[in-house]
Structure 1
Amino acid sequence: MALRSVILSSRIPMVIILGATGTGKTKLSVELAKKFWTEIISADSMQIYKGLDVVTAKASVEEREAAPHHLLDILEPHQNFTVVDFRNRALKIIDHLTEQGKIPIIVGGTNYYIESIVYKILVEDTDDSESLLWDRSRRKRDLDDHDAENEASSSSKKSNTEASSSESELIEDETAKKVPETENDSSVNEESMDPEKEKIKIQLQADVDNEKNFTNEEIHEKLKAIDPVMAARLHPNNRRKVLRSIEVWLKTRRLHSEILAEQKLSEGQLRRPGSTVIFWLKCEQSVHDERLNARVDAMLQEGLIQELLDFHDRHNKQRIKDGSPPDYTKGVFQTLGFKEFHNYLMLTEEERNSEEGNKLLAESIENMKIGTRRYARRQNKMVRGRFLDHPTREVPPIYELNTTNLSQWDTEVRYKAIQIIQSYINDSPCNYEPLKSEINEEKKKIDGNSRNYCSVCERIILGDKTYEIHLQSYRHMKVLKKKRRLEQANQTFVEKMSNT
């Protein structure tokens, strides 16, 4: 109780635990949650689905009993879940914990989930954080129908691990799911009064509602007519993204390309400046590789193969029989293991017990080990590139915790993390220094470090390129238009006064 009183009367940080798979993130999160009497929020895009506890390495029953966990096992395998859905739920839980004086502990390996709560990514807020954006959409598309067929040729080339490595693209894409309302903006109202433009909108809305009647190329041409910049960025076969960009314009009368350009101006700002602490769990590479191999072996002992077989029978077998191609790039089917074991899972029980089946099983296990090691390397690269060394983002304090020697876990990981959090809570000196960003000259050249002052918006913009984008942004133009109206009104007032 004394500890709770200290937290209530002091600063409450949002604690985030990052790191590659197999570095001990779950272990540390439970230890910290027990120490500080708080709760854990999972930021893992695969663990959010029900089932597959072994292959997704979910917290054990004992670990969940030791500390309350959020956003675990909340979705069925067929449901689609976006980064917007995660962010809306996670922020609500974070605010609720903070109001109770509890430290939110976020743990997971899905970096773009973490980015969405660390930075002010321009995705829509929603009061209804319990329903999915996809399920709320007026025009729900069947991904297993023609949409999957159109993307099958390109999607099949992506591995399940590659699907989670394009964080920035995924976050940008989600702005099209829900975008800020602009009903009160004068420029939108003026445009809505234009009969010709209103006629175009009505026809385009009808075309989108009946999009199955149009080819990919025809849909792409419709986007090109309203937003040629966005059309140039999207391939005609990327039907879903093309349709989303059209929907942005239909809803807001603003170009999707302009919204994404504005996003660049604020995505580097911390959502909770001064209240975010990140722990980055690292392990020496050769030791980590051995640990990951042993982890796969342990999964086999825990029933990995039977788990995959059962899940395959329930959720994938009939789909394949019906002629739909296997898709390991969406939802829970991206999980490491499905793609690697696909050929083995397709065998009959008799074939699996044959010599050829055993050989295929051994190959599948080795492929999973290779895929896991590669995935871990990409995760570490993403942590550095998206959080520590990003040229246009604010960097929160990031502390490296070395998990190489497990016999030194208490001193090098647990106690160190506890001391850092306590120093933050009590606003006292810390014995440990956060990592320093090391942005190379090439990255600096991308956006520069110059400071530009916008006299219209009365704010400082870092970087020449960012400043150029700002001057063309919707926000800047809106402020400029408002100031001009005020100046004109003042001038009119002065003239009237001078004539009286």
Structure 2
Amino acid sequence: MKNVIVICGATATSKTKFAVALAEKLNTEVVSADCMLVYRGLDIGTAKPTKEEMRGVPHHLIDVAAPNERFSVGDYRTAALPVTEKLLAEGKQPIICGGTGFYIDSLLYESAFGSAGASEEIRAKYAAVLNDAGKEAGAAYLHRLLTKVDPESAAILHVNDVKRVIRALEIYELTGKKKSEQNDTKTPRFPFRAFAVGFPREELYRRIDSRVDDMFSRGLVGEVEGLLKSGVSPSAQCMQGIGYKEVIDGILNGVPWDVVKETVKQHTRNYAKRQLTYFRRMQNLTIIPHEVLENDETLQFMENLI
């Protein structure tokens, strides 16, 4: 079986550009692994790749869910696994591209997170927190607890994704290990090689700030207003994503727009930092310097590895 290729890493590190260049060279297809790109109508705030950026390379698992839908890791695996297996059966090397670590893990490993068992007592304890503190305050409190014991998992999970936050806390209590560490002992479903584009921290933050400025210039506020007017709830899972949640604060709570923009930048920088920590643990990972992103020799080097 050929290796599955994984292009992962922090936001704003040219993952799509990298994946498309490699897909063109290998005549293969891209399977997106981004928890925001699954939603239709969320284009600007997710930096969803355009047709021009895809350059004719087929991309899967983009625009597969309505904005008001909940889309879980299990939903992702159910949808992405048959696509990946089909490409392998056709003799192609699927390129899994994205920054949502749980999505990637669920696809690469046979039973990611499933071996820790379950405890109704632990779940009931955390459910009681929600009942006592109220849904919003309780969810925030549980997320803070998770941040203390497993910051990598907390960085990936939305505050309002209470079910998975509780599951991550449960795994930690049952095993003494972070959910984000569980794959260290898992057997991969497929042989794979992983790559990430490396940027100096200062350059990464500059790219993030520039991307956020561009999102607002392109109409992020109007995109969120349109989603709300179409009936998408401010509490919908998709609206908890960075950029959308802060803009909603501006629309509904009157937060000044300069404050909203700076908050989006800071939240994105924080998220990128945690993503880097998460993916640093990935097996078979090679860091590619950003200066040689589409260099023919670099692509040939990668082709030799995979």
| TM-score bin, normalised by smaller chain | 0.7 to 0.9
Aligned partner of 2:11 among 12, 15, 21: 21
Partner of 1:291: 207
Instruction: Give distance in 2, aligned partners of 1:371 and 1:36.
Output: 36
Aligned partner of 2:153 among 145, 166, 178: 166
The structure-2 alpha-carbon separation of the partners of 1:374 and 1:167, relative to structure 1 and needing over 3 Å to count, comes to closer
Partner of 1:269: 186
Aligned partner of 1:32 among 16, 22, 27: 22
**Are 1:410 and 2:297 an aligned pair?**
no
Partner of 1:459: none
**Are 1:420 and 2:299 an aligned pair?**
no
Helix, strand or coil at the partner of 1:271 = coil
Partner of 1:307: 223
Helix, strand or coil at the partner of 2:246 = coil
Bigger mean CA offset, 373-382 vs 359-368: 359-368
Aligned partner of 2:275 among 379, 384, 392: 379
Amino acid paired to 2:298: K
Instruction: Give distance in 2, aligned partners of 1:167 and 1:286.
Output: 24
Following TM superposition, by how much is the alpha carbon of 1:305 offset from its aligned partner in structure 2, in angstroms? 1.6
**Are 1:81 and 2:71 an aligned pair?**
yes
Helix, strand or coil at the partner of 2:6 = strand
For residues 288-345 of structure 1, the C-alpha deviation after alignment (integer angstroms, 9 at most, x for no partner) is 11111111111122221211211122234xx5xxxxxx53xx6211211122222321
Following TM superposition, by how much is the alpha carbon of 1:364 offset from its aligned partner in structure 2, in angstroms? 0.5
The structure-2 alpha-carbon separation of the partners of 1:113 and 1:377, relative to structure 1 and needing over 3 Å to count, comes to same
TM-score (norm 2): 0.77
The structure-2 alpha-carbon separation of the partners of 1:277 and 1:417, relative to structure 1 and needing over 3 Å to count, comes to farther
For residues 72-100 of structure 1, the C-alpha deviation after alignment (integer angstroms, 9 at most, x for no partner) is 00101121222122112222111100111
For residues 468-494 of structure 1, the C-alpha deviation after alignment (integer angstroms, 9 at most, x for no partner) is xxxxxxxxxxxxxxxxxxxxxxxxxxx
Q: Is the 8 A contact 1:48 1:72 kept in 2?
A: yes
Higher relative contact order (CA 8 A, sep 6+): 2
Instruction: Give distance in 2, aligned partners of 1:91 and 1:284.
Output: 34
**Are 1:108 and 2:108 an aligned pair?**
no
The structure-2 alpha-carbon separation of the partners of 1:342 and 1:120, relative to structure 1 and needing over 3 Å to count, comes to same
Following TM superposition, by how much is the alpha carbon of 1:346 offset from its aligned partner in structure 2, in angstroms? 1.6
Following TM superposition, by how much is the alpha carbon of 1:19 offset from its aligned partner in structure 2, in angstroms? 1.0
Instruction: Give distance in 2, aligned partners of 1:92 and 1:102.
Output: 14
Instruction: Give distance in 2, aligned partners of 1:368 and 1:90.
Output: 29
Partner of 1:97: 87
Structure 2 unaligned blocks of 5 or more: 115-129
The structure-2 alpha-carbon separation of the partners of 1:169 and 1:305, relative to structure 1 and needing over 3 Å to count, comes to closer
Structure 1 unaligned blocks of 5 or more: 1-10, 125-145, 175-236, 246-256, 320-325, 348-356, 388-394, 426-500
**Are 1:363 and 2:259 an aligned pair?**
yes
Percent identity of paired positions between Structure 1 and Structure 2: 30
Aligned partner of 1:341 among 226, 243, 247: 247
Amino acid paired to 1:70: H
Helix, strand or coil at the partner of 2:137 = helix
Helix, strand or coil at the partner of 2:187 = coil
**Are 1:331 and 2:215 an aligned pair?**
no
Partner of 2:56: 66
Helix, strand or coil at the partner of 2:71 = coil
Following TM superposition, by how much is the alpha carbon of 1:269 offset from its aligned partner in structure 2, in angstroms? 2.6
Instruction: Give distance in 2, aligned partners of 1:267 and 1:293.
Output: 33
Q: Is the 8 A contact 2:30 2:97 kept in 1?
A: yes
The structure-2 alpha-carbon separation of the partners of 1:335 and 1:15, relative to structure 1 and needing over 3 Å to count, comes to same
TM-score (norm 1): 0.49
Q: Is the 8 A contact 1:84 1:123 kept in 2?
A: no
- Considering only CA atoms, is the larger Rg found in Structure 1 or Structure 2? 1
Q: Is the 8 A contact 1:122 1:267 kept in 2?
A: no
The structure-2 alpha-carbon separation of the partners of 1:265 and 1:47, relative to structure 1 and needing over 3 Å to count, comes to closer
Q: Is the 8 A contact 1:312 1:345 kept in 2?
A: no
Amino acid paired to 2:139: S
The structure-2 alpha-carbon separation of the partners of 1:341 and 1:164, relative to structure 1 and needing over 3 Å to count, comes to farther
Following TM superposition, by how much is the alpha carbon of 1:48 offset from its aligned partner in structure 2, in angstroms? 0.5
Instruction: Give distance in 2, aligned partners of 1:119 and 1:165.
Output: 18
Instruction: Give distance in 2, aligned partners of 1:76 and 1:299.
Output: 21
Instruction: Give distance in 2, aligned partners of 1:51 and 1:35.
Output: 31
Instruction: Give distance in 1, aligned partners of 2:182 and 2:219.
Output: 48
Following TM superposition, by how much is the alpha carbon of 1:168 offset from its aligned partner in structure 2, in angstroms? 11
Following TM superposition, by how much is the alpha carbon of 1:270 offset from its aligned partner in structure 2, in angstroms? 3.0
Count how many residue pairs are aligned between Structure 1 and Structure 2: 275
Following TM superposition, by how much is the alpha carbon of 1:272 offset from its aligned partner in structure 2, in angstroms? 4.2
Aligned-residue Cα RMSD (Å) equals 3.6
Bigger mean CA offset, 303-312 vs 51-60: 303-312
Following TM superposition, by how much is the alpha carbon of 1:241 offset from its aligned partner in structure 2, in angstroms? 6.2
